[in-house]
Structure 1
Amino acid sequence: MNESSIQSFLENLKHPDEVVRQAATEALWRAWFYQKGDYGWECIQRSQVLFSAGKVSQAEAVLTELIRDQPDFAEAWNRRAILYYFTAQYEKALVDCQTVVKLNSMHFGAWHGLGLCQMALANYAAAIRAFRQALKIQPYAIDNQRLLLECTAKL
């Protein structure tokens, strides 16, 4: 997928039509998952299967190896951040999310993840900043709107 297609999908995230936004969201996720071709996709899939089977340390090892092999693969970092978040390793998840947004500043999922981690760590001002950044990219994201309000109420 070329840069102009990516830019078009990012613009469509702001479209008033939900169908257009959903198609753009799916296209961006596809582009991010396949950034490193079949190799990257297969590793992410393998880690997800392991995680779903309760083999968390093995899933983490697959992602860590993928990151070692492909340190610029933002989605590998994002998937490991998700694993860390779901295992309540919020500091580790936070670091991985920060790496994702350095590699791909438009990764709305990582901005959302940053907000969730900051929220879990009771850093509400930082969570608000992350959710606002996610909303700049995906302004119709109801979850981020709700979480932003929740964090604001906790300040």
Structure 2
Amino acid sequence: MRIRFACLTALLLSGIALPAGAEKVPGALPPDAAPPATPPPPAAPTRQGRLDQLFTELKRERNEKAAERIAGRIWNEWNQSGSASIDLMMQWAQKATENQKFDVALDFLDQVVTLQPDYAEGWNRRATVHFMMKNYGKSMADIDRTLQLEPRHFGALSGLAQIMTETGHKQSALEAWQKVLAIYPMMRSAQNQVSTLSEELAGEGI
């Protein structure tokens, strides 16, 4: 009897003879409990989210070269239409513009803005071609559409400032360049233009 009692005591102490669930291990899950759900990975930032972050960095940056790199990344985002056919037409338009075949470039860009009217860079590129052809009214109309789609488009604002200068509207040109600097403080050309126009307007008694 003593031997049997000793064996039973040893089994109880070791846990081997205990029925399932009779003894709980600290931190252990019940047999029927599901493991905790793994949190999903964070979502990749959207294009708009990336642009918002880049514009924040651009406004904060005080090193000219670093700001230029940020601006380049913004241009890369702007250039992405999300459509292979639109991208191809943009490339053809760019090549035609470089070869001063402006009518050909406009044909491609007309198709771009028709097929994808919410693509701001298509309107901006067509505004640039109209500007090079000195079609200032048409260029301004396309700039206006660009800025409706992307109010922070410092390229379009720069184009507007140049048209105002070309047409003798110095005050409007100054205001456009100031808007550029509010978005991209380290743009050297905008800084120079603000300085020059401010001096000229002061000299004219304005």
Which stretches of structure 1, 4 residues or longer, exceed 6 Å deviation after superposition?
none
- The aligned residue for residue 94 of structure 1 is 140
Alpha-carbon separation, structure 2, partners of 1:12 and 1:35: 23
Q: Among residues 74, 79, 84, which one is paired with 2:130 in the alignment?
A: 84
Q: Among residues 8, 11, 32, which one is paired with 2:56 in the alignment?
A: 11
RMSD of the alignment, in Å?
1.6
What per-residue deviation string (whole Å, max 9, x for no partner) do you get for residues 80-133 of structure 1? Answer: 111111122222211111111111001111111110111111111111111111
Map 1:3-152 to 2 at 5 A.
3-14=48-59, 15-152=61-198
What per-residue deviation string (whole Å, max 9, x for no partner) do you get for residues 24-73 of structure 1? Answer: 11111011110333332221110011122232111111101111111111
**Percentage of pairs with the same residue:** 24
Alpha-carbon separation, structure 1, partners of 2:83 and 2:76: 11
Q: Do 1:9 and 1:24's aligned partners in 2 also have CA atoms closer than 8 Å?
A: yes
More helix by share: 1
1:7 alignment partner AA = D
Greater mean deviation of Cα atoms: 96-105 or 143-152 = 143-152
Alpha-carbon separation, structure 2, partners of 1:95 and 1:53: 24
Cα gap change, 1:63 to 1:119, in 2 (>3 Å): same
Computing the radius of gyration from Cα coordinates, the structure with the larger value is: 2
Give TM-score scaled by structure 1 length. Answer: 0.91
Q: Do 2:92 and 2:108's aligned partners in 1 also have CA atoms closer than 8 Å?
A: yes
Alpha-carbon separation, structure 1, partners of 2:194 and 2:170: 9
Q: Do 2:90 and 2:109's aligned partners in 1 also have CA atoms closer than 8 Å?
A: yes
